[in-house]
């Protein structure tokens, strides 16, 4: 099981615009329950007992999922949606000082399994930052996992910002990440919006940590 001094930050502020729906994206149902509910269930089954859910201003329906969870889930509002890094910065003040590990999960990934979260925890034994990567048939649109000649991960480059050489990389970031609170939370202060979207990307902390 996961260390009790671990917390999951669940990013759930998406509007669901592409779904053409007024409901928050994470509240759309898969297999009979909201996508966010599947993610929170997987986190609990893996042993992650504390969750910080980052919502947008339209959060009443999202907050209803936490009813009866005995205070395991807290919420913070990302009023200004300025990227994934900004979302985690918004959640940072809510992280209790005794937390040693932070898991970044996405509220719109209902197929995540507890075993995947546990595997990331095992990776934390040898690294300060753990990423979950995959190799799709078509990597278009995904962030690429950039490695040096030794195989060390040195950056995650979002598709819009990637060079032609980087776009040829098949290894892509899934969006899931875990990191040491002590060594990594402070790196969020170094995030800069120097990208095509003008946002703060969480992915940038990999490059900052490697520098």
Q: What is the mean pLDDT of residues 174-199?
A: 93
pLDDT at 63: 85
Backbone angles phi, psi at 30, to 5 degrees: -130, 125
Residue 54 burial class via C-beta count within 10 angstroms: exposed 0-12, middle 13-18, buried 19 and up: buried
Which stretch of 31-35, 61-65, 156-160, 188-192 has the lowest confidence by average pLDDT? 61-65
The mean per-residue pLDDT over the stretch 40-44 comes to 94
**Mean pLDDT, all residues of the chain:** 91
For residues 154 and 21, give the distance between their C-alpha atoms in angstroms, rounded to a whole number: 38
In CATH, the number for domain 6-210 is 3.90.550.10
Q: CB pairs under 8 A, 24+ apart, for 58-63?
A: 58/15, 58/24, 59/24, 61/23, 61/24, 61/27, 62/12, 62/24, 62/26, 62/27, 62/36
Please report which confidence band the pLDDT of residue 18 belongs to, taking 50, 70 and 90 as the band edges.
low
Q: For residues 42 and 114, is the Cβ–Cβ distance under 8 A?
A: yes
Q: What percent of the chain has pLDDT over 70?
A: 93
Q: What pLDDT was estimated at residue 13?
A: 87
Q: Which residues 6+ apart lie within 8 Å of 106 measured at CB? A: 10, 11, 12, 39, 175, 176
Question: 18 catalytic, yes or no?
Answer: yes
The b-or-e profile of 164-178 (16+ CB within 10 A means b, else e) is eebeebebbbbbbbb
What is the band of 70 on the pLDDT scale with cuts at 50, 70, 90?
Answer: low
- Phi, psi of 105, rounded to the nearest 5 degrees: -120, 160
Provide the pLDDT confidence category of residue 204 given band limits of 50, 70 and 90: very high
**Residue 17: what pLDDT?**
59
The single residue of 18, 23, 92, 157 carrying the catalytic annotation is 18
- Given a cut of 80, whether residue 67 has pLDDT beyond it is no
Res 102: pLDDT: 98
pLDDT given at position 71: 67
Rounded distance between C-alpha atoms, residue 50 and residue 10, angstroms? 10
User: How far is residue 120's CA from residue 99's CA, in Å, rounded to a whole number?
Assistant: 16
Question: Which DSSP string do the residues of 65-80 spell out, in sequence order?
Answer: GGTTSTT-EEEEE-SS
In this prediction, residue 101 carries a pLDDT of 96
pLDDT band, residue 25 (cuts 50/70/90): confident
Q: Report domain extents, the chain.
A: 6-210
Tens of pLDDT, residue by residue over 44-54, are 999 998 999 99
pLDDT of residue 76: 94
């Amino acid at each position: 099981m996961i260390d009790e001094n671990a917390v999951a930050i669940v990013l759930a502020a998406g509007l669901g615009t592409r779904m053409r729906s007024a409901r928050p994206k994470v509240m759309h149902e898969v297999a009979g329950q909201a996508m966010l509910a599947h993610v929170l269930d997987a986190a609990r089954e893996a042993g992650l007992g504390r969750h910080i859910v980052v919502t947008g201003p339209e959060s009443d329906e999202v907050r209803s999922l936490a009813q009866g969870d005995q205070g395991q889930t807290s919420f913070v509002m990302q009023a200004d949606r300025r990227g994934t890094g900004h979302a985690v910065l918004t959640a940072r003040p809510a992280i209790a000082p005794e937390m040693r590990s932070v898991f970044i999960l996405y509220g719109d990934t209902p197929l995540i399994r507890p075993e995947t979260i546990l595997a990331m925890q095992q990776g934390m034994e040898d690294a300060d930052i753990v990423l979950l990567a995959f190799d799709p048939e078509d990597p278009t649109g995904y962030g690429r996992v950039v490695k040096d000649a030794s195989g060390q991960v040195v950056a995650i480059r979002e598709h819009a910002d990637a060079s032609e050489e980087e776009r040829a990389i098949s290894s892509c970031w899934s969006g899931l990440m875990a990191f040491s609170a002590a060594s990594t939370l402070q790196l969020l202060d170094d995030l800069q919006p120097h990208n095509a979207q003008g946002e703060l990307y969480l992915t940038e902390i990999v490059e900052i940590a490697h520098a």
